A and B are shown apart, each in its own frame.
Chain A
Amino acid sequence: MARTLINVPASAKRGEVIEIKTLIQHPMETGFRPGANGRILARDIITKFACTYNGEEVFAAELFPATAANPFLAFTTVASESGTFRFTWTGDNGFKQTETATISVT
């Protein structure tokens, strides 16, 4: 399991626009770089990220080798109801990780 850092406000007012920041530990090997033996290292990146809010997708991203190692993404959403954010990263070599965060909306 890769380490993740997820920053979601614990509480928000209804209708408020909140910022969500996510970071996951991943080398994002580009597939263009030679390794110690001079051979090109195989590509190993995260290709997709998605964030759902109570089951409905609010943000998604397609990533390419040009995303820096340990992909960081910050985006916004409208706090509409208390519930759960589910973050999913999918990548090469069967990489898949899901994390959750909760928010209480008043």
Chain B
Amino acid sequence: MTNATRRDALGLGAGLAAFLSFRPARATTAAMSEAIRDFAGTVKRQEGGITLDLPPLVENGNVVPLTVSVDSPMTAESFVKRIALFAEKNPQPHIGTYHLNPRSGRASVSSRIRLADSQAITAIAEMSDGSFRQTSAEVIVTLAACVEG
């Protein structure tokens, strides 16, 4: 009897651990999921093949430089159509959408954005064959944008 309970407890523990590890790394807010659905629909997005380059520690959330680039030959057969950026803790998660075409030569875009809080930034690229690639980067923001005064 004691043995069975112990086994049950262990089984439950293992199940819980499995559940926790299969959960996404962070909870995505409803607004964020909606913004991503608007951009990418419900197509499965593969991780990798896209790089989001931004400083891990940002002093001023009003101006955060970033570069996003995608591994793509950028030929007429295979190119990146669109790249979108999302930040889940911003009042409006969608940061921007960049439209590219084979004449871009390289799939690389730089810009400066605002961040309201320390958070994960997600970049999603739509390829010409209809597939999507995704990556995220964590940023710590010391002085947030949208602070009063």
Chain A positions within 8 Å of B, measured between CB atoms, are 17-18, 21, 30, 32-34, 53, 56-69, 71-78, 80
- Choose the segment among B20-28, B88-96, B128-136 that binds chain A (4+ C-beta atoms closer than 8 Å): B88-96
Query: What 7 pairs across the A-B complex have the smallest Cβ distances?
Result: A17-B105, A74-B110, A60-B99, A68-B112, A78-B105, A66-B95, A62-B97
Residues of A near B146 (CB, < 8 A) are 30, 32-33
**Size of B's binding interface in residues, CB under 8 A:** 32
Interface residue B87 (Cβ < 8 Å from any Cβ of A): yes
Query: Are B112 and A61 in contact, with the CB atoms below 8 A?
Result: no
16 A-B pairs within 8 Å (CB atoms) are namely A30-B145, A30-B146, A32-B92, A33-B148, A53-B103, A58-B104, A61-B97, A61-B98, A61-B99, A66-B90, A67-B96, A68-B63, A73-B110, A74-B67, A77-B104, A78-B105
Mark out the residues of chain B between 2 and 24 whose CB falls within 8 Å of any chain A CB in the assembled complex: none
Query: Bound state CA distance, A18 and B110, in angstroms?
Result: 14
Q: Is the CB of B148 within 8 A of A76?
A: no
Report A-chain residues with C-beta under 8 Å of the C-beta of B63: 68-69
Q: Is the CB of B114 within 8 A of A67?
A: yes
Name the contact of B96 in the complex, choosing from A17, A57, A59, A64 (C-beta under 8 A): A64
Q: In the complex where A69-B62, A72-B112 touch, is A59 in contact with B148 (Cβ < 8 A)?
A: no
List 20 other contacts, CB 8 Å, given A61-B109, A77-B103. A17-B106, A18-B105, A53-B103, A58-B101, A61-B96, A61-B99, A62-B96, A62-B97, A63-B96, A66-B85, A66-B90, A68-B63, A69-B63, A73-B109, A73-B111, A74-B110, A74-B111, A75-B108, A76-B106, A78-B103
B64 at the interface (CB under 8 A from A): yes
Residues of A within 8 A of B113 (CB): 66-68
B94 cross-chain contacts in A, Cβ below 8 A: 64, 66
Answer yes or no: B52 CB below 8 A from chain A CBs: no
Min distance, Cβ A46 to any Cβ of chain B, angstroms: 11
Complex Cα gap A75–B96 (Å): 14
